Homo-oligomer: A and B are copies of this chain.
Amino acid sequence: MVVRAAVAGASGYAGGELLRLLLAHPEVEIGALTGNSNAGQRLGALQPHLLPLAGRVLEPTTPEVLAGHDVVFLALPHGQSAAVAEQLGPDVLVVDMGADFRLKDAGDWEAFYGSPHAGTWPYGLPELPGARSALEGSKRVAVPGCYPTAVSLALFPAYTAALAEPEAVIVASSGTSGAGKAPKPHLLGSEVMGSMSPYGVGGVHRHTPEMIQNLSAAAGERVSVSFTPTLAPMPRGILATCSAKARPGVSAQSLRAAYEKAYADEPFVHLLPEGQWPATASVHGSNAVQVQVAYDAAAGRVIAISAIDNLAKGTAGGAVQSMNLALGLDETTGLTTIGVAP
């Protein structure tokens, strides 16, 4: 099979990571690469790490340029995907790496994004219960947010096994690439090196309703989420520390068993041996997810922690994994569980 892929938004971090992965994908041929403000520039100047594509020139994001591909990836700012997607035919696979089609509840969308809801597409986190079958053969995929990927994979087994109360408390640290490539003062190297700081505190981060959606589906009841993101002095990686009160009767053993069951056959999720903890460096550049779970007996809480690469499994790797499913390829094609460390 030769899958011809276009990437809209090839100059940003998500687009660059996607191209890195597509270059290693044995079935994909990279087609049109588009940008807006960067149209006309050489990719070698914008993404100097992608040597095989250094000579490629960005084109404008138009229906004509995106036409004639088997799959179109949209790595666009939130709110722009819907307009582009409308212009693409029903037979082309469209993988949206933005937020536009992730949420099921239009009210949630409007409350957190402040614009009309564009719709809901099959959700590209295959490890969630039921997600895989919705992705197989689909022509539309909504790639999850990076934080919801890390948090959902850390916590959902506790909810499907009914071991945790439906009030999750989450503190997650992200590398700076999660904030994108648009230059802003607080993202300067001088500001972020040597500093940890929170942002979007108090339930206002836009990934919150997506976490609630995923965890509630797993629990079979509404799960409240208190989510605090923090910016960490590293370019990549998310470490999500998630907890919830344990249901009566929960033990370290029952927790371990639930996670072992949930992840026994998952190719990308690695439940670490007892005593070993996730580290973002271990999944740098890889599609792997490190997960560990503990029972804090004194506080009576389930503590579940995951590490992902926010650009890989958290964005572009998740997109490729879902593309594989949508196209009927082996889900792991072109993806790796090997990190680049140290």
Contacts and interface: CB of A to CB of B under 8 A. Distances in A.
B23 A338 contact: yes
A252 B238 CA distance: 29
Interface residues of A, number: 94
Given A188-B176, A303-B226, A195 B48 contact: no
Contacts of A285: 285, 340
Contacts of A330: none
Interface string A173-203: 1011101010111011111111111110111
B338 A198 contact: no
A279 B196 contact: yes
A1 interface: no
Contact of A49 (B241, B281, B296): B281
A225 B185 contact: no
Secondary structure call for the A interface: mixed
Contacts of A52: 337-338
Interface stretch (A77-85, A94-102, A156-164, A229-237): A229-237
A288 B52 CA distance: 11
A233 B193 contact: yes
A232 B190 contact: no
12 contacts: A45-B276, A48-B282, A177-B342, A187-B188, A189-B191, A190-B342, A194-B194, A201-B296, A224-B298, A226-B303, A285-B285, A285-B340
